[in-house]
Amino acid sequence: MSFAPVYLDWNATTPLDLNVREAMLPWLAAAEPARFGNASSRHEYGRQARAAIDEARARVAAAVGAHATEVIFTSGGSEANNLFLKGAAGCLKPGMVAVSAIEHPCVREPAKQLRRSAWLLEEIAVDAQGVVDAQDWRRVLNARPKLVSVMLANNETGVLQNVPALAAEARALGAWFHTDAVQALGKVEVDFRALGVNAMTLSAHKIGGPLGAGALVVDKRVELMPLIAGGGQERGLRSGTENVAAIVGFGVACERAVTRRTFEAARLTQLRGQIESGLALLGATVFSRAAQRLPNTVFFAFDNIDGETLVGKLDRAGFACASGSACSSAQPEPSHALLAMGVDPVVARGAVRVSLGRDTTADEVERFVATLSRVVEDLKKLASVAH
Amino acid sequence: MLKFPIYLDYSATTPVDPRVAAKMIPWLTEHFGNPASRSHAYGWEAEQAVEEAREQVAALVNADAKEIIWTSGATESNNLAIKGAAHFYQGKGKHVITVKTEHKAVLDTVRELEREGFEATYLDVQENGLIDLEVLKAAIRPDTILISVMFVNNEVGVVQPIAEIGELCREKGIIFHVDAAQATGKVDIDLEKLKVDLMSFSAHKTYGPKGVGALYVRRKPRVRLEAQMHGGGHERGLRSGTLATHQIVGMGEAFRLAREEMTEENARIRKLRDKLLNGLTDIEATFVNGDVEQRVPHNLNISFAYVEGESLIMAIKDIAVSSGSACTSASLEPSYVLRALGRNDELAHSSIRFSIGRFTTEEEVDFTIDLLHKKIGKLRELSPLWDMYKEGIDLDTVQWAAH
């Protein structure tokens, strides 16, 4: 790129942390001493790889308050979500699986797939703020689901769920409870024991780590049928030659993200506040404003301004944002989460997501607000001329 | 300047070629966008890089880029191909054929199909490691829907008759899957000529990074699969999950280099292999495992009789190789591939797989020959079985006393 836009799409993916980069390069033959062994090989090259993986596993576990033996490395968050839902279902007689109405497609779709093996799928409704609706939650619990999955933080609205309470209630009735913590790690506190879940999903590239590595953190009581068969890696739960470079990067990224979390959360909350002040002046709707949210995320819309159009103008003006999650941006459909919150599809089409990160500066935010004002005023003028 | 241990285990994994690393790293650092982000340049340029790499992978095997699906590696590709095809076509039948010498990623997946109610036939191979086409023909049933045979065997390097098997499968309307993880950059692969429906690729066996692979899915005639990874609908719904741009760029570059350099490289490697072969078969009572002609030059699997396996591995610590034993959690088992070739347990345990590659030097080969001569010599001096053999006693006729 000849000029780099200011990156305000940190929920989609994040630039690599420098410490992560340093740790990874030897494993990609881009720094000396070059390391490359297959961790299953018995010679020194293999042993080095095995040691690096063990170290990374310990780091990930320590960062989230789990045991190293509870960490299963996967190729990413999507795979970990698939592994929990299909893997746990594969060891149970068919029953009910319940997922919230605002889950990411990589939880929704595997859950839907379970219907082909005689499972029933229930959706847990959310309220207008995007928080799990208490009444509907009771309804679903009464139906005694065997598997429940509710994401800790939503990628579009940033809304946080009261996972410890939900998990405790579901587990008391005999369900396995899983949470997709991919967006939460590094932004809010993520402690496996404190959350009281049976399983949770993590992803490296959301926390300054590389693409290509994720984990399912899962307690030993949950029996899982592996999705990928073969050489027996990850204690038979996930076969395939381990991607040492990515796993090493993931370990360092977890450590770094958790270390700077408190400071970053405060800093980003403040910066996000500046954006929301600007949005208020411009008359925007901020979704889930009244709910507990991730500190870095603001999902908003302007009346009569199409989200795709606004994002396009912002990109041309030097700011990279998103009009909904990357995974579904190929389809021009309004945000699934907003529809579940009861937002009018017409309003939802205006949605734009801005998500900040560790490199975001106060200056960038100031310039963004100024640019946003200008762009919105221009688009409003165009809209009024058109009517 | 020799670096110890000398790496002769290219079949286990290969170092990332520095040129591949140079191409990859910018996509890990500056150009970090999510390729599915449609709203900004970070995303668009990542998507473009992914599509360029797809073309490069397709070019090595003379396929269309649309036929290449990205996965996290050949193990996943094998799972997707076998489960995906079996589930999609199970209305036509539930019988699957594969070979006893396949990689575990194929064998364990087929076993999983059996647990689901499919029937499987695991073909024996001949002593040279090659399948007998007549045996394959005889195994085909009216309800056979899938046959999986690897191109190049990872343990003994033999090359199966993929072209002929493809003709047979096409004739019978059976889906043909080929695990080509060990084949790329070593043998010519032309998917316009070969009647293969599904083909698995690995990057880290061809000087690319770990964590990325691909699955070729034929479009003419159209092959369908049931997706195994669900979510955002990536890879036209066949494999959901955010694409790792830098890994994919690495695989593309690795395959591009393979296409450009394969002929020359194979010639160089063949020379080194011949030297190694002559130098080692020079030693008495050694046996090459796998057909001597139908093989890739990169692999040499040799059994050294009358030498105890574990002692052998310990004695040659200066070279990094792979032995005929596989570690399971509790025990040392003899390689099932060598057993399938007819080697008994002892001989299987005293086998070494030497696999050479792009960075192997003549000096390393010379050192290896010397080392083996020295160590085998010493170990046999200490071996009572060797003494008996030298005295002409046929060990198979000895009644061993139990203790």
The pLDDT tens digits for B351-381 are 999 999 999 999 999 999 999 999 999 999 9
**Closest CA–CA distance from residue A177 to any residue of chain B (Å):** 19
Q: Does A28 touch chain B (CB under 8 A)?
A: yes
CB contact under 8 A, B21 and A30: yes
- Best of B106, B210, B349, B354 to disrupt the A interface (most A CBs within 10 Å) is B210
Select from B18, B74, B228 the Cβ nearest to the Cβ of A29. B18
Tell me A114's DSSP state: G
> Minimal Cα distance from B210: which residue of A?
A243
- Check pLDDT > 80 for residue A234: yes
Instruction: Specify the higher pLDDT residue, A265 or A381.
Output: A265
Distance CA A187, CA A173 (A): 30
Average pLDDT rounded to a whole number, residues A182-206 = 98
Q: Which one of the listed residues B115, B220, B292, B327 is annotated catalytic?
A: B327
Residue A324 has a pLDDT of 63
SS (H, E, C) A25-59: HHHHCCCCCCCCCCCCCCCHHHHHHHHHHHHHHHH
User: pLDDT tens-digit profile of A308-343?
Assistant: 999 999 999 999 999 965 555 556 688 999 999 999
- Cβ of A228 and B40 within 8 Å? no
B50-81 burial, b at 16+ Cβ within 10 Å, e below that, comes to beebbebbbebbebeeebbbbbbbbbbbbbbb
- Compute the average pLDDT of residues B383-401: 82
How confident is the model at residue A325, as a pLDDT?
Answer: 53
Assign A297 a pLDDT band (cuts: 50, 70, 90): very high
Q: What is the DSSP letter of B79?
A: H
Average pLDDT of the segment spanning A33-39: 90
Give the number of residues written for chain A: 387
pLDDT at A358 exceeding the cut of 80: yes
> Beta strand A6-7 with A319-320: parallel, antiparallel or unpaired?
parallel
Rounded to whole angstroms, how far apart are CA atoms A335 and A320?
Answer: 18
Q: Which residue shows structure tokens 């494999």?
A: B239
How would residue B344 be classed by pLDDT, with cut points 50, 70 and 90? very high
Structure tokens at B373: 């001569």
Dihedral in degrees, nearest 10, Cα atoms B81, B96, B335, B367: -50
Name the CATH superfamily housing domain A6-12+261-386.
Answer: Aspartate Aminotransferase, domain 1 (3.90.1150.10)
How close, in Å, is residue A147 to chain B by CA atoms?
17
Residue A384 binned pLDDT confidence (cut-offs 50, 70, 90): confident
CB A8 within 8 A of CB A356: yes
Per-window interface: B 298-327 vs A, CB < 8 A: 313, 317, 320-323, 327
Question: What is the spatial order of strands in the sheet that A297-301 belongs to?
Answer: A285-286, A297-301, A352-355
* Alpha carbons A226 and A232: distance in angstroms, whole number: 10
Closest partner residue to B231 among A42, A43, A327, by Cβ?
A: A327
Domain boundary assignment for chain A: 6-12+261-386, 18-256
Give the Å distances, CA to CA, from A116 to A97, A109, B221, B311, B388: 12, 12, 28, 53, 64
Q: Which among A36, A211, A311 is the nearest to B245, CB-wise?
A: A211
Chain centroid to CA A85? 16
Q: What is the ipTM of this complex?
A: 0.95
Per-residue model confidence (pLDDT) at position B329? 45
A155 interfaces chain B, CB cutoff of 8 Å = no
Nearest CB to B40: which of A34, A46, A315?
A: A315
Question: Considering only CB atoms, which chain A residues are within 8 Å of B109?
Answer: 229-230
Mutation site, A50, A83, A228, interface B, largest B CB count within 10 A:
A228
> Which CATH code is given to the segment(s) A18-256?
3.40.640.10
pLDDT of residue B308: 86
Cβ–Cβ contact B120 with A under 8 A: no
Distance from CA of A315 to the nearest CA of B (A): 6
Residue in B39, B138, B156, B37 with CA at minimum distance from that of residue B97: B138
Q: List B residues 19-48 in contact with A (Cβ-Cβ < 8 A).
A: 20-22, 24-25, 28-29, 31-34, 36-43, 45
Q: Which two tokens stand for residue A384?
A: 């009024």
How distant is the Cα of B231 from the closest Cα of chain A, in angstroms?
Answer: 4
- Axis crossing angle, helix A105-113 with helix A77-89, rounded to the nearest 10: 20
Residue bearing tokens 């042993």: A47
- Choose from B229, B328, B368 for mutation: most chain A CBs within 10 A: B229
Residues 246-275 of A with CB under 8 A from B: 246
Name the average pLDDT for chain A.
95
CB contact A44 to B (< 8 Å) = yes
Q: Which two three-digit tokens encode residue A211? A: 């693409």
Q: Tell me the pLDDT tens digit for each residue of A62-118.
A: 999 999 999 999 999 999 999 999 999 999 999 999 999 999 999 999 999 999 999
Question: Which distant-in-sequence residues (6+ apart) come within 8 Å of B30 by Cβ?
Answer: none
pLDDT at position A333, please? 81
The answer to whether B112 and A229 are in contact (CB under 8 A) is yes
Q: Note the pLDDT tens digit of each residue in B65-106.
A: 999 999 999 999 999 999 999 999 999 999 999 999 999 999
pLDDT at residue B220 tops 60: yes
User: Among A234, A237, A217, which Cα is nearest to A225's?
Assistant: A237
Q: Average pLDDT in the A148-168 region?
A: 98
Substitution target in A38, A149, A211 with the highest count of B β-carbons within 10 Å is A211
Which residue, B257, B283, B328, B343, is CA-closest to B104?
A: B328
The alpha carbon of residue B324 is apart from the nearest alpha carbon of chain A, in Å, by 12
Paired sense of beta strands B144-148 and B175-179, if any = parallel
DSSP state of B130: P
Catalytic residue IDs of A: 327
Taking the Cβ of residue B383 and every Cβ of chain A, the question of whether any pair is shorter than 8 Å is answered with: no
A63 and A257 in contact (C-beta within 8 Å)? yes
What's the sign of the alpha-carbon dihedral A122, A111, A70, A16?
Answer: negative
